[in-house]
Structure 1
Amino acid sequence: MFEDFHLEERDVSGARLRVRHAGNGPPVLLLHGHPRTHTTWWRVAPLLARHHHVVCPDLRGFGRSSQPTDTPDHRLSSKREKARDGVELMAALGFERFAVVGHDRGAYTAFRMAMDHPGRITHLAVLDAVPIVEALERCDARFAAAWWHWFFFAQPERPERAILADPDRWYAGTPEAMGEENHRDFRDATRDPAVVHGMLEDYRAGLGIDRRHDEEDRALGRRVEAPVHVLWSRRDDLESLHGDVLAVWQPWARTLTGRGLDCGHHMAEEAPDELAAELLAFLARPGIAGSPPADPPPTDPAG
């Protein structure tokens, strides 16, 4: 798994991140979702690394990256903080400008990165997600029944106790489908109380501070400046819940493309060749040119 990739830990201002990277060419940052770690990309990353320098970290709070300190507003688990982690990580590796791809919860961090750091992101690819504020404002009985875990995971203490009582009942996955090493990394993460808590803090931030950041951007009329490519699973429920996925994204992007893929939710594991081909074609398109801005990104007061 990840042959020829370099595995290390890197310190950024707010976290210590486990990261794998390899390849030559324009840089691309891959951000995993819940409850995976960076190893979910093991089938896709080598295909991209033939043409790009590929960087795959564990998000703050996930896998073997460090755990943020709890705050009442969950600020240190916000997508804004995780976006800053990614920008600092890429700069430490020598990349001031780069493309970013995010799946599931990682898509929210990738989106926040493009909003908060527009001069650094050349391309944004979003896999199986719409902006958090859009999902919450569209919430109805169907959404609540299908995505009830958003609201349960945001409750204090109870979800940790429920998940850790029997992680296999909560998180399906087999070595045959995921790959043996990827499955082992995923199982280790979902059995670690600190990691389970860190993953759930991501949801707690989502219902509060992350939604507020989206609302603030929308009120200011801000959009993603980089080209945006949205892919979603036709065997999952994003399309059935939200209808035209691209229409949901249209107000947030100046340049928007995308389509559904015939696979389940974990597309990097289920359809790696098709996903890699889509991403390579997208990343070959012209991106945003220019120098990164000198101004610091938005910050939140200590919570």
Structure 2
Amino acid sequence: MTDPPELFPGFEARTISVGGGKLFCRVGGKGPALLLLHGYPQSHVIWHKIAPTLQDHFTLVMPDLPGYGMSSIPALSATHEAYSKRSMARMMVELMRQLGHERFLLAGHDRGGRVSYRMALDHPDAVEKLAVLDILPTSDYWDRLDRSFGLKIYHWMFLAQPAPLPENLISASAIPYLETTLAAWTADKSLKSFSDEAMTHNRHWYAEFARIAATCEDYRAGATIDYEHDRADRDAGRKIRPPLLALWGDKGIASSVQDPLQVWKQWCDDASGQSLSCGHFLPEEATEACGKALLDFYTSE
């Protein structure tokens, strides 16, 4: 299989040993450090459209989450610990320290958003400002599941089934499943928002059974250990300390809840936010509006 196309000209490609694994990342730009975390079923490539807007203002660090893209694949386990957002957040903090950034700006989309708000809860001194893209906290999603919401995020229950059921079923038709999933979460229910080059990257790594299994393990962690960590924080009254910006697509997944910002205000006293005209994939469907919102948030006093 040939290597996928280059989408980050001028950025350095690095693979860094962190916490017993290896994280692949792209690093480039200038200014304060900004860590960008992708979601499912994508990789760091989700940021390729928005990077040109941000790279003149920030030093961008764009890793692949463990198991995704070109990062190493942690072993699956009965506790799903390696795929907990707490474990992933710890790895990302160590990654940034190895790159010389003790404190940094942070944005996460989808699963990367879950790693991001967990990082802000567990490592508040490392996170200067936090942006979460088209998500609500994990425990809120599970606690709000009803018939209509369950149909919209059916994959949460499907992917969280015990191994190897979901990965076996997906791998039998991996690329059609990938393409159907991506299209279903866009505003126009198509792949038009994704560049051909980005789709080449997506298909490249999602064809590997071990990586499909890793993404399922990510959701198994979400249904178990991640939920428990969220509930423990809520029960203890712990909140997100850094300023938080919530962005969501008006036809995205988070918009299934009537007022996503009100949910985030229960988790963070300094929360602001807005909807954008798009589906779930803000950096690719609403690149200009998303870039402006992030830039305004990070550069405001």
Shared fold per TM-score greater than 0.5:
yes
Match of 2:232 among 216, 219, 225: 216
Per-residue deviation, 1:167: 1.9
Counterpart of 1:179, as a letter, is S
SS across alignment from 2:292: helix
Q: Which residue of 1 aligns with 2:185?
A: none
SS across alignment from 2:266: helix
Match of 1:116 among 111, 122, 142: 122
SS across alignment from 1:118: coil
Say what the alpha-carbon RMSD is for the aligned residues: 1.3
Q: Which residue of 2 aligns with 1:207?
A: 223
Match of 1:128 among 134, 144, 147: 134
Aligned pairs for 1:28-43 within 5 A = 28-43=34-49
Contact 1:132 1:211 in 2 (8 A): yes
Contact 2:109 2:135 in 1 (8 A): yes
TM-score (norm 1): 0.91
Per-residue deviation, 1:71: 1.6
Aligned pairs for 1:56-95 within 5 A = 56-95=62-101
- Separation in 1, partners of 2:244, 2:118: 13
Q: Which residue of 1 aligns with 2:209?
A: 193
- Separation in 2, partners of 1:24, 1:152: 41
TM-score (norm 2): 0.92
Q: Can you list the C-alpha shifts for 1:86-128, whole angstroms capped at 9, x where unaligned?
A: 1011111110000110001110000100000000100000000
Unaligned 5+ segments in structure 2 are 1-6, 183-189
Aligned pairs for 1:95-110 within 5 A = 95-110=101-116
Q: Which residue of 2 aligns with 1:234?
A: 250
Unaligned 5+ segments in structure 1 are 287-303
Counterpart of 2:59, as a letter, is H
Per-residue deviation, 1:229: 0.2
Does the alignment pair 1:159 with 2:175? no
Counterpart of 1:212, as a letter, is E
Counterpart of 1:127, as a letter, is L
Contact 1:14 1:81 in 2 (8 A): no
Runs of 4+ residues over 2 Å off in structure 1: 173-177
Q: Can you list the C-alpha shifts for 1:176-212, whole angstroms capped at 9, x where unaligned?
A: 5322322111001211111111111100000000000
Q: Which residue of 1 aligns with 2:152?
A: 146
